[in-house]
């Protein structure tokens, strides 16, 4: 019996034929990295390989590393394995990694979403014998509202706040979510201010040619009174801090897939919650897996036990894989998936 194309180790997902790891969480010699989020692109590896589009953000986050790049769809031989990277639709530059050994194909999805957000390279299904899938939102309760409707809700909230003389502060992750929100905003409503961490990523992506509306970086010298009716795009950890309170009377909101669950907005102490995620919802997960044609599915980070059982009822050979990937959290320990009560 042949050894599997990939094995699951305490350092990460390993390909024996190519002697490389995919998104390893402990230091290794060669790491193939799906995207720039910190739970997938970690420091300490000797060599990195990412898509050309992901490389600038990975370098921004990890510094002076030995990093090679690959184009989407380009086949590259590493040892006795052939690898290629394909759009995952998660954040700009994100990829699924296809690994072929002896005619057998396995695909590691990294994180992905199936809705085209108009910014990230759209998700492309990849045919495979085995598929490693996240399932951050692997329950039927998670069903995303079309992006155009969410954008209209965000702009309506902002417009009403501006008319009432209030600043709008919206929490969104610095890489991916923040730029997706930016792309959906109507700059005609007012100025857009950004947290430094958000603006640093904006600068990297703008330099690559990603189109984003004009923004103003919040500095210690910035006077909020000079920007009435502004929307402030902040990191989630900045909400409720002295940094946010400097803007005076404000309405706060949070953009996340977790806003679909009752009680989460209250736990974030936000006035509004907008359901927007850079991960696939229940329908997206099922459609993506079906499109691969894979008979074997390995699920990781999220509602793994529940989703595995569901896949088995659909005829898949499914298994749970333990990793250190985090998916989409809400910053505090009790806001992890395991700590949220699900009510449909």
Residue 287 in domain:
yes
Q: Over pLDDT 90: what percentage of the chain?
A: 87
Query: Is the pLDDT assigned to residue 2 strictly greater than 90?
Result: no
How large is the greatest C-alpha to C-alpha distance in the chain, in angstroms? 70
Number of residues that make up the chain: 344
Identify the residue with better confidence: 269 or 339.
269
Alpha-carbon 233 to chain mean position: 17
Instruction: Kindly state whether residues 270 and 283 are assigned to the same domain.
Output: no
How far is 182 from 120, CA to CA, in rounded Å? 13
Please tell me the predicted confidence (pLDDT) of residue 340. Answer: 28
Say what angle helices 196-208 and 177-184 make with each other, to 10 degrees: 80
Instruction: Kindly state whether residues 161 and 15 are assigned to the same domain.
Output: no
pLDDT in tens, 105-154: 999 999 999 999 999 999 999 999 999 999 999 999 999 999 999 999 99
CATH number assigned to the domain comprising residue 288: 3.60.15.10
Instruction: Kindly state whether residues 43 and 91 are assigned to the same domain.
Output: yes
- Domain boundary at 228, 248, 274, which? 274
Instruction: Kindly state whether residues 35 and 109 are assigned to the same domain.
Output: yes
Residue 200 in domain:
yes
Residue 167 in domain:
yes
Instruction: Kindly state whether residues 197 and 220 are assigned to the same domain.
Output: yes
Q: How confident is the model at residue 270 (pLDDT cuts 50, 70, 90)?
A: confident
**323's tokens:** 């990793």
DSSP 203: H
Instruction: Kindly state whether residues 265 and 299 are assigned to the same domain.
Output: no
Residue 177 in domain:
yes
Instruction: Kindly state whether residues 258 and 161 are assigned to the same domain.
Output: yes
How far is 97 from 109, CA to CA, in rounded Å? 6
Query: Is the pLDDT assigned to residue 332 strictly greater than 50?
Result: no
- Domain boundary at 274, 307, 325, which? 274
* Residue 163 belongs to domain spanning: 147-274
Please tell me the predicted confidence (pLDDT) of residue 173. Answer: 93
Residue 98 in domain:
yes
Stretch 45-50: mean pLDDT: 98
pLDDT in tens, 284-313: 999 999 999 999 999 999 999 999 999 999
Average pLDDT over the chain reads 92
Query: Is the pLDDT assigned to residue 338 strictly greater than 70?
Result: no
Q: How confident is the model at residue 339 (pLDDT cuts 50, 70, 90)?
A: very low
Residue 1 in domain:
no
- Domain boundary at 236, 254, 274, which? 274
Residue 344 in domain:
no
Please tell me the predicted confidence (pLDDT) of residue 265. Answer: 59
Residue 64 in domain:
yes
How far is 315 from 186, CA to CA, in rounded Å? 46
pTM, whole model, 2 decimals? 0.93
CATH number assigned to the domain comprising residue 200: 3.40.50.10710
SS3 label, residue 116: coil
Instruction: Kindly state whether residues 266 and 194 are assigned to the same domain.
Output: yes
Instruction: Kindly state whether residues 253 and 185 are assigned to the same domain.
Output: yes
Query: Which residue shows structure tokens 């958000």?
Result: 198
Please tell me the predicted confidence (pLDDT) of residue 3. Answer: 79
Backbone phi and psi for residue 332, each to the nearest 5 degrees, phi listed first: -100, 150
Q: Over pLDDT 70: what percentage of the chain?
A: 93
**Element housing 267 (H / E):** helix 264-267
How far is 211 from 203, CA to CA, in rounded Å? 11
How many structural domains does the chain have? Answer: 2
Stretch 67-88: mean pLDDT: 98
Instruction: Kindly state whether residues 228 and 263 are assigned to the same domain.
Output: yes
Q: How confident is the model at residue 269 (pLDDT cuts 50, 70, 90)?
A: low
pLDDT in tens, 254-267: 999 999 987 675 66
How far is 123 from 112, CA to CA, in rounded Å? 7
Alpha-carbon 155 to chain mean position: 22
Q: How confident is the model at residue 268 (pLDDT cuts 50, 70, 90)?
A: low
Q: Each residue of 71-105: b (16+ CB within 10 Å) or e? A: eeeeeeebeebbbbbbbbbbbbbbbbbbbbbeeeb
Q: How confident is the model at residue 326 (pLDDT cuts 50, 70, 90)?
A: confident
Query: Is the pLDDT assigned to residue 336 strictly greater than 90?
Result: no
Backbone phi and psi for residue 337, each to the nearest 5 degrees, phi listed first: -55, -40
Instruction: Kindly state whether residues 84 and 170 are assigned to the same domain.
Output: no
Instruction: Kindly state whether residues 201 and 285 are assigned to the same domain.
Output: no
Rg value, the chain, Cα = 20
How far is 13 from 37, CA to CA, in rounded Å? 17
Q: How confident is the model at residue 328 (pLDDT cuts 50, 70, 90)?
A: confident
């Amino acid at each position: 019996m042949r050894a599997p194309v990939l094995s699951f180790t305490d350092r990460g997902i390993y390909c024996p034929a190519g002697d490389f790891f995919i998104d390893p969480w402990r230091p290794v010699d060669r790491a193939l990295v799906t995207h720039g989020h910190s739970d997938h692109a970690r420091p300490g590896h000797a060599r990195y390989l990412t898509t050309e589009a992901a490389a600038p953000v990975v370098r921004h986050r990890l510094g002076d590393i030995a990093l090679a790049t690959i184009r989407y769809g380009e086949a590259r031989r590493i040892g006795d394995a052939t690898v290629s990277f394909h759009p995952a639709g998660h954040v700009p530059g994100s990829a699924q990694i296809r690994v072929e050994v002896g005619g057998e194909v396995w695909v590691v999805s990294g994180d992905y979403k199936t809705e085209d957000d108009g910014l990230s390279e759209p998700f492309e299904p990849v045919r495979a014998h085995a598929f490693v899938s996240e399932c951050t939102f692997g329950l039927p309760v998670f069903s995303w509202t079309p992006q155009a409707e969410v954008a209209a809700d965000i702009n309506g909230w902002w417009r009403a706040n501006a008319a009432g003389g209030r600043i709008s502060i919206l929490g969104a992750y610095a890489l991916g979510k923040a730029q997706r929100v930016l792309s959906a905003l109507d700059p005609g409503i007012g100025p857009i201010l950004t947290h430094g961490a958000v603006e640093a990523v904006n600068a990297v992506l703008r330099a690559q040619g990603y189109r984003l509306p004009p923004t103003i970086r919040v500095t210690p010298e910035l006077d909020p009174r000079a920007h009435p009716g502004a929307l402030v795009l902040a990191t989630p950890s900045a909400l409720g801090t002295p940094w946010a309170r400097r803007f005076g009377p404000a309405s706060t909101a949070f953009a996340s897939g977790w806003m679909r669950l009752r009680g989460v907005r209250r736990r974030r102490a936000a006035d509004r919650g907008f359901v927007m995620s850079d991960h696939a919802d229940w329908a997206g997960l099922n459609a993506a897996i079906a499109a691969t044609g894979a008979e074997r599915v390995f699920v990781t980070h999220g509602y793994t036990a529940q989703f595995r059982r569901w896949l088995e009822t659909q005829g898949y050979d499914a298994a749970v894989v333990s990793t250190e990937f985090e998916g989409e959290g809400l910053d505090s320990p009790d806001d992890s998936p395991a700590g949220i009560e699900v009510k449909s």
